[in-house]
Amino acid sequence: MSDEFCSCDIVHENVIEMVRKKMPQEEKLYDLAELFKVFGDTTRVKIISALFEAEMCVCDIAELLHMTPSSISHQLRVLRQARLVKHRKEGKVVFYSLDDEHIKTIFNQSLEHILEPRGFEYAIS
Amino acid sequence: MSDEFCSCDIVHENVIEMVRKKMPQEEKLYDLAELFKVFGDTTRVKIISALFEAEMCVCDIAELLHMTPSSISHQLRVLRQARLVKHRKEGKVVFYSLDDEHIKTIFNQSLEHILEPRGFEYAIS
DNA sequence: TGCTCATATGAACAATTACTCATATATTAA
DNA sequence: TTAATATATGAGTAATTGTTCATATGAGCA
């Protein structure tokens, strides 16, 4: 190959070509990582978990998580931009709720991975 | 309440208490965010996508993604620690493959979210 | 109009992190 | 053993990001 990024001799070109053809577009994989970045923060995971149970206003969430309304508002902005939550205004109060059916599946599957029993290397003899 | 984090008057205490009782343990939500952090990087998403198609060695992945074997190795370490990939040694070559059935579901659901049509506010009039 | 409350947002700072580079380990072959 | 190859890893650096603080917006009420 002309532009080598790997100096190894044993490169399985046929496998690489097959995989390259089958893989999703670069742009979609980028968007996928961006979505996971949104999920990859404890505060946002907590907010989403809370909204699974009920619609809540900014102050409710702040009180629930023992955080400032400002930081919650910042995080809700990120969740809004990722189209994961929707909001409803009632006077001064803004109520947030989840805006995606996929999130629950994603979270459940991920929880299953976390709760999975470890391999034998961790087992008690 | 004694320890107020939110100075708002309109706090829905009953909702907060209900949600607090129903939410998963703090530790599990932390682990969940940690898992999503692992998914939240373009390089790692690409590696996982590649491994969906075939088992590959470090140099194969490096070549496929046009990156150095060193950086790939660093990322594979992260994926190993999250128990998402397993490895198999064959002489000097180390082959990596996926080690979790949940990943595919998580990725598919997430792709569906990304590919979802946008709301009317983006529609062409 | 003014005042207060609920939320949003910009700037700044601290912490995290992905890559590069140099080096270490491990396997094979001479 | 010595050399070469495939992979792993530690340190350093640049870029990203979550929170705090100050301030802005905007709705309801006196």
Domains identified in chain A, total number = 1
- Gap from A72 CA to D26 C1', Å: 19
Beta bridge partners, A86, equal: A97
Asked if A37's CB is within 8 angstroms of B40's CB, the reply is: yes
Cβ atoms of A52 and A104 within 8 Å: the answer is: yes
Give per-residue pLDDT as tens, A30-46: 999 999 999 999 999 99
CB contact under 8 A, A5 and B32: no
B109 vs A contacts (CB less than 8 Å): 102, 105-106, 109
Q: What is the CATH number of the domain that holds B89?
A: 1.10.10.10
Distance from CA of A60 to the nearest CA of B (A): 5
DSSP 3-state assignment of A67? coil
- Specify whether the CB–CB gap between A59 and A91 falls below 8 A: no
* pLDDT score, position B8: 78
Interchain CB distance below 8 Å, B23 and A39: no
Q: Residues B71, B43: contact at Cβ < 8 Å? A: yes
pLDDT of residue B119: 54
Tokens standing for residue B1: 């309440």
Q: Give the chain B residue whose CA is nearest to the CA of A100.
A: B113
* pLDDT value at residue A109: 92
- Kindly give the parts of chain A with pLDDT less than 70: 1-5, 118-125
In a domain, B54, yes or no: yes
The reply to whether A70 touches chain B by the CB within 8 Å rule is no
Write out chain A residues lying below 8 Å of B48, CB-based: none
Placement of tokens 């080598």 in the chain: A4
Q: What is the pLDDT of residue A4?
A: 59
**Residue lying closest to nucleotide C18, CA to C1':** B71
Query: Does some domain include residue B125?
Result: no
Alpha helices in chain A (DSSP H): 13-22, 26-39, 42-53, 58-65, 69-81, 102-115
Nearest to A40 among B37, B46, B93 (CB): B37
Q: CB-CB: which of A31, A46, A62 is closest to B29?
A: A46
Distance, angstroms, CA B77 to C1' C23? 18
Q: Give the residue ranges of DSSP H helices in B23-68.
A: 26-39, 42-53, 58-65
The range of the structural domain enclosing residue A62 comes to 24-107
Residue B9 located in a structural domain: no
Q: What is the pLDDT along chain B (125 residues), one digit of tens a residue?
A: 334 567 777 789 999 999 999 999 999 999 999 999 999 999 999 999 999 999 999 999 999 999 999 999 999 999 999 999 999 999 999 999 999 889 999 999 999 999 887 654 443 33
Tell me if B60 is assigned to some domain: yes
Provide the pLDDT for residue B123.
Answer: 38
Residue A94 lies in a domain: yes
Do B106 and A109 contact (CB within 8 A), yes or no? yes
Q: A76: which chain B residues are within 8 Å (Cβ-Cβ)?
A: none
In a domain, B29, yes or no: yes
Instruction: Confirm whether any atom of chain D, the nucleic acid strand, is less than 7 Å from CB of B69.
Output: yes
Q: Under an 8 A CB cutoff, do B111 and A20 touch? A: no
Whole-complex ipTM: 0.90
pLDDT on residue A8: 80
For residue B14, is it within any domain?
no
Chain B residue whose CA is closest to A9: B59
d(CA A44, CA A107): 12
In a domain, A46, yes or no: yes
